[in-house]
Amino acid sequence: MAENRPTGKDRIVGKRKPDLGSPMGMGKLPPQAIDLEEAVLGALMLEKDALTAVVDILKPESFYKEAHKVIFSAILDLFSDSQPIDLLTVTNQLRKKGQLEMAGGAFFITELTSKVSSAANIEFHARIITEQSMKREIISISSEIQREAFEDTTDVFELLDKMEQSLFEISEKNIRKNYSDMRSILKEAIVELESKKGQKDGLTGVPSGFTALDRVTSGWQKSDLVIIAARPAMGKTAFVLTVLRNAAVDHNRPVAIFSLEMSSIQLVNRLISSEAELDSEKIKKGNLAEHEWQQLVYKTGNLSKAPLFVDDTPALSILELRAKCRKLKAQHDIQMIVVDYLQLMSGDSKSGGGGNREQEIASISRALKKIAKELSVPVIALSQLSRAVETRGGDKRPQLSDLRESGAIEQDADMVMFLYRPEYYGITEDEDGASTAGVGEVIIAKHRNGSLDTVKLRFIGKYTKFTDLEMNIPYKPQDALYGSKFPSSAGGQDFDSSNMIRVQSKANGGDFDEPFPGGAGSGESAPF
C-alpha cells in the first residue's frame, strides 16, 4: 500500500500540511461557554426568581453569542418593568423590540428551555460565563496594546497607563462585592475594634506625629484625598516633610513624595536641617563647624534607614504619577503619597489639551482621588491659595473659596486643611492675648469623616520643621544647641556644656521632668 504523503505543492518543508478538518487546523477560538449560556437563559425563563441570583454577575456583553446577548437584554427589560419572565413574555418582548429574528426566532427560544431542568446551579454557571467574558476582554486589550506598540507615534507611557487602567477596569467591572448579613458584618466590626484596642492614641491611619492633629483625624486615613493649602512662605513643604519624616522614621511606614517644586537634594537638605536641628542657611552654604558635622552624622542615622522615597520629576503628568504610584505600591507597599504641589502638575494630553486650566486642575484632582481609592492609601496634595487672601482685611485667615483655579479641588477632597501663621501678617497676639511668635495653625476647613477644628503647632523656621506646641516652654529661635562647645547667644563667647544634656520634647517621647547631670535640684532650666 502506498504511503499517504503530501506531494507537489502540498509538501511543506519539515511539516505536514495542517488538516483543515480538525479543530487545530481552524486556529484558536475565543474563550466561550455556549452550552452554559444556553442553560442559564433557559433557567431564567423557567424560574421567576432565578434572575435575582445572577443579575449582579451577568451583563449582556458577558455572553459570547450575539443572539444570547439580545435575549438576555430582553429579560433585563422585563425585570426592570417588574414583568414576569418566561418563554412567552420574553418572546413577546423581543417581538415588540423587532429583535425576534436576531435572537434566533421563537423556535430557538423554545429550545433553550429544554436545555436545563432547573435553576439549581445557575449562579455557578453564570460565574463561568463571566470568567470566559473576562478572558475575551483581556485578549482584546492585549491585541490592541500589541498593535499600538508597533506604531512609531505611540507614547509608551500613555500606552502603559492605558494597559494598566484597562486591566483594572475589567476587574472593577466584573468582580463586585456581594452584600453581607448583619451577623457577619458585626463580627468583622468587633474584630477590627479589638485590633484597634492596642493601638496607641486610637490611631487608625498613618500617624502625622502631631498629637493634637492625630486626635482630630485619627491619622491620615486610607483612600482619602487630603488637600493642604496655604499662601507662599507659610511652610507647606516644611509641614509635609515633617509629616513624612514622622511616619517613616518614628513609625516605619513606607511613604513617597513627588516634588515638582524642589529637587530631591533640596528636600533632603531640609530633612537634614530638621532632623539634625542645624540652621537651614548653614546647610545650604555648607558652613558647618566640626561639632555640627558630628551632630549631622549622629542625628541623620535613622533618617538614612527610613523607607522614604523621593521623586523630583518636573512637570509630572497624572499618567506618570499613576504608573509610579502603582509601582511603588507593588514593590514597597507605600502607605502614603504626597504631591508638592498640585498646580505644577500637567493633566492628560487628551483631556488637558482642549480645555482651560480650571478643567485641567479638576481632572488632576479627580485622578488623585482615584489613585487614593485604587491603592487604598492617603494622598496628600499641596495647593496654592489665590491672592484674595492678601487683599482681604482682618486676620487674613484662608477659607475654602480661596482655593486656587478650581472648585473641584474642594469637591474631590475628603479633607481640606489650611496652614496659617499670624506672625507672617504682623499679628503678634491671638484673640486670647497669647503670643503668636513661632505659632502655626492647621485649620481643618473640610473633614468628610470627622469634625472641623484648628490645631496649633510650633513652627521653627530655621530648621524648616513643625512640632507639637508645648505651652509650658517659651519659644526661642536658638533652641537646637548641641555639642561640647557652642556659641553663647548673650556674649558671643564659647562656654562648656559637657555637664548638660538636651532633653527630648514630649513630641518625641521625652520627659521634661528628667534631671540634668550636675544640676538636679538646683532649679536650673534646660538649655533650650
**Residues designated as active site:** 261
HSE value, Cβ hemisphere, 13 Å, CA-based, for 351: 16
Placement of cell 442559564 in the chain: 40
DSSP 337: E
Whether 490 contacts 473, CB under 8 Å: no
Sign of CA dihedral 390, 396, 402, 403: positive
> What phi and psi, each to the nearest 5 degrees, are found at residue 380?
-105, 120
**Cα–Cα distance for residue pair 312/322, rounded to 1 Å:** 15
The kind and range of the H/E element at 88 are helix 87-96
Whether 239 contacts 418, CB under 8 Å: no
HSE value, Cβ hemisphere, 13 Å, CA-based, for 23: 3
**3-class secondary structure, 349:** helix
Q: Which of 201, 304, 301, 308 is nearest to 245 (CA)?
A: 308
Cis bond leading into 425, ω under 30°? no
> What Rg, from alpha-carbon coordinates, does the chain have?
33
Sign of CA dihedral 184, 189, 194, 195: positive
